[in-house]
Chain A
Amino acid sequence: GNSVTQMEGPVTLSEEAFLTINCTYTATGYPSLFWYVQYPGEGLQLLLKATKADDKGSNKGFEATYRKETTSFHLEKGSVQVSDSAVYFCALRNQGGKLIFGQGTELSVKP
């Protein structure tokens, strides 16, 4: 079946550090891939997406590349800020149109 696995959190970084949050998936066909972010007290928001192999999604300094050969969609940011502290969810959209989420990874950025 379809599933998404993320690295476990919490991830704690200092401001301006490099961020990687790993995400791998299992799916039939070629799903679209997403990263959502949930800031404290708010709902999940779409951060970026990629719809086919080798696509790179980017937004707010975050990037993720759709790697079909490794079935991965790792989230990266070159220099994190305190305001990036949030929970990040990796997700895929399956052939039926449903969103399948990972367990979320909490990021805490210290000044």
Chain B
Amino acid sequence: GAVVSQHPSWVICKSGTSVKIECRSLDFQATTMFWYRQFPKQSLMLMATSNEGSKATYEQGVEKDKFLINHASLTLSTLTVTSAHPEDSSFYICSARPGTGGSNEKLFFGSGTQLSVL
């Protein structure tokens, strides 16, 4: 089946540094990818929708200048947490939707990245 590769699976960084998380669709093209964040014991929350070749669409309350999303090709989207602070420590998950349209239920998910900011 379709596979989405997300790297790194975990990362520890110092406060004030930037961290990049990659999300790759390995055997399909994805015009649209999604980025989620989950704090402990809370729901998996959609942060932004990433569209190939255009600007990402951010959900209310998500700072676009802090969470930079780049979707430069049909198989790769990156999320960069800029000037990370301890409150950004969270579990980040990406998902990709095959093709150029279709239902959001046909999503393939990465295995997630646990970010810890010291």
How far is it, in angstroms, between the C-alpha of A36 and the C-alpha of B36 when the chains are bound? 15
Q: Are B105 and A34 in contact (CB under 8 A)?
A: yes
Q: Are B38 and A49 in contact (CB under 8 A)?
A: no
Chain B positions within 8 Å of A38 at CB level: 109, 111-112
Residues in B lying within 8 Å of A, measured CB to CB: 4, 6, 9, 36, 38, 41-46, 93, 95, 103-112
* Additional A-B contact list (7), CB under 8 Å, known A34-B105, A97-B104: A38-B109, A41-B9, A43-B111, A44-B109, A97-B103, A101-B36, A103-B38
Residues in A lying within 8 Å of B, measured CB to CB: 3-4, 8, 32, 34, 36, 38, 41-46, 49, 89, 93, 97-104
Chain A positions within 8 Å of B44 at CB level: 89, 101-104
Closest to A3 in B: B43
Chain A positions within 8 Å of B42 at CB level: 103
What are 19 A-B interface contacts by the 8 Å CB criterion? Answer: A3-B43, A8-B41, A34-B105, A43-B6, A43-B108, A43-B112, A44-B109, A46-B105, A46-B106, A49-B105, A98-B104, A99-B46, A99-B105, A100-B43, A100-B46, A101-B36, A101-B43, A102-B44, A104-B38
Chain B positions within 8 Å of A97 at CB level: 103-104
Chain A positions within 8 Å of B93 at CB level: 43-44
Q: Are A102 and B109 in contact (CB under 8 A)?
A: no
Chain A positions within 8 Å of B46 at CB level: 98-100
Interface centre among A36, A49, A89, A101, by most chain B C-beta atoms within 10 angstroms, is: A101
- B43 contacts which of A8, A45, A46, A103 (Cβ < 8 Å)? A103
Decide yes or no: A43 and B109 within 8 Å by CB, A4-B43, A8-B41, A89-B44 being known contacts.
yes
Task: Output the least CB separation between A39 and chain B (Å).
Answer: 9
